[in-house]
Structure 1
Amino acid sequence: MACYILTTKKRDQRLFRKILTDPHIFETPRELLLAIRSNKRGPILIIDLEIRGHEKIGFQTAELVKKNNPNAQIILLAEDSRLANYCFEYQVGVLDFIIKNDRDLTFQKRLLRAIEKAQYNLHKIFYTKPIFVRFPNGTRSILVDLTHIIYISCEKGTHHLILHEHDRITKIRATLKTVVPLHKDICQIHSSFAINLNYLKDYQPKKKIITLSTGNALPVSRRYASEVRMHTTRFTQPPSKDENPNFKRND
């Protein structure tokens, strides 16, 4: 699978051509954005935050990418770890943030793991067999493909829920109490949130936060912490090549 790369550093460009099978390298955000404009299925992007001395151009580019293609899998590279704080400011849903302190094998292995995870995420989004679940909606019901639901939130002050998908949201008249038991992959993590366990990426017990593979970060309340912890190991590991013959690595 092709990787779209934004960097002006020649040394990095040489490295990417060496370790990746199909790198598409660009030196300006405009060139990158034009190249992925027709990619509707979710490109994998590696974006160097610093472009020609400007530290935030990478964030701004990632923000534009996500706005036009919510399925995009974005890996950010930086030489200054302090730039990671801006990930929350720009809300770009980053898959990984990698510090380029050196170009040793540790950096290369982490980059390849991030690309592998991106491929796995896109596989789940587009090739997973649909799971149709009938959700209540007031006095009626609607048929929903659960594989497209990332998480569910309560609309404050109402009796409505918001179903968050990759490219849209749907409002239904229901409560978490009624929808959580509908399928084993729906897990309540808070009085206001439930997630699709297949999108669970990471759980930080001390911060009481989970991160989804789409980059969304959601709070976990104490009441549901033990259940989230139980599911973390099961759902955060991508399958091996033997477990998923359709999945290819960029080795």
Structure 2
Amino acid sequence: MTTRVVIADDQAMVRAGFAALLNAQPDIDVVGEAPDGRAAVEVCGATHPDVVLMDVRMPELDGLEAARLLLDAQAAAALTAHRCKVLMLTTFDIDDYVYEALRVGASGFLLKDAPPADLISAVRIVAAGDALLAPSVTRRLIADFVRSRPAGAAAPSAAALRLPALTAREREVLVLVARGLSNTEIAGRLVLAEQTVKTHVSRVLTKLALRDRAQAVVFAYESGLVVAGDEG
């Protein structure tokens, strides 16, 4: 199957470069571009992409609010089978925006200066339904977000009320997901088959009503299951 992509970025050169790179792939088709968040929502409504590359900082409507509108609209239209994934494009100086994006349902983030191969891989990973949370970045970003957010004090208790729904093994798996480990790495750590890990992850998402691994990471920290700065 071909993955349909929309690129939203206020820099024309960035859009052109990304489009050229992605269109050169036999399994990826760029079906639309947008220079701002408002246009991105409109373009997505008209083209029904599988993945949206959404820059965080854009005029008219920033990428965070555009992602929120897009994902909320999809959630409201539950009868619509097609659901696109949002992959935020960011830099380290706007980490807090990335955290908010994960909370509203974005499937992950990608640094704008990442190598071309990483961009191609990111689109495929997100299109396949996985979250793009690199282990080397996840621990640093999410832990810092949760530790520093002034409004975070009330969140853990609310999220923690949902933890009893998980078995002990599912909690173990969620902790490792939150620390950025892949299914393969989790399988090795817990001495389980990779398919078994996938099943546990799926059950965690279902029980906690989470969209994907990205939201699972956020939940793990907000619930207090994983403590910021504790690498275990």
Moved over 6 A (4+): none
Q: Distance in 1 between matches of 2:45 and 2:57?
A: 22
The match for 1:213 is: 213
List runs of 5+ in structure 2 lacking aligned partners: 24-28, 76-82, 131-157, 182-203, 205-209, 227-231
Flag the structure with higher helix content: 2
Cα distance between partner residues in 2 of 1:218 and 1:18: 36
Residue 189 (structure 1) aligns with: 171
Q: Secondary structure at the match of 1:218?
A: helix
SS, match of residue 12 in structure 1? helix
Q: Percent of aligned pairs with the same residue?
A: 13
Please say if residues 56 and 64 of structure 2, whose CA atoms lie closer than 8 Å, have aligned partners that are also in contact. yes
TM-score (norm: length of structure 1) = 0.47
Pairwise CA distance, 1:38? 6.2
Larger Rg: 1
**Separation (CA, whole Å) in 1 of partners of 2:21 and 2:54:** 16
**CA 1:213–1:155 in structure 2 vs 1: closer, same or farther (change >3 Å)?**
closer
Provide the rounded CA distance (Å) in 1 between the counterparts of 2:84 and 2:39.
Answer: 16
- Report which of the two has the higher share of strand: 1
Structural RMSD (CA)? 4.0
Task: Give yes or no for the alignment of 1:203 onto 2:179.
Answer: yes
Q: Does 1:4 align with 2:6?
A: yes
When the two structures are superposed, what TM-score results if normalisation uses the length of structure 2?
A: 0.51
Q: Does 1:98 align with 2:118?
A: no
1:51 paired with 2:47, answer no
Structure number with higher relative contact order (C-alpha < 8 Å, ≥ 6 residues apart): 2
Residue type at the aligned position of 1:215: Q
1:1-251 → structure 2 map (5 Å cutoff)? 1-21=3-23, 22-23=29-30, 24-37=32-45, 43-52=50-59, 57-70=62-75, 71-78=83-90, 80-90=91-101, 91-101=103-113, 106-121=114-129, 156=161, 176=165, 180=167, 187-189=169-171, 203-204=179-180, 212-216=212-216, 217-219=218-220, 221=225
Structure 1 CA distance for aligned equivalents of residues 45 and 214 of structure 2: 20
1:154-189 superposed Cα distances (whole Å, 9 cap, x missing partner): 994xxxx79xxxxxxxxxxxx747xx5xxxxx9531
In the other structure, the counterpart of 1:125 is none
With over 3 angstroms needed to count, the CA separation of the structure-2 counterparts of 1:89 and 1:38, relative to structure 1, is: same
Change (3 A) 1:13 1:68: same
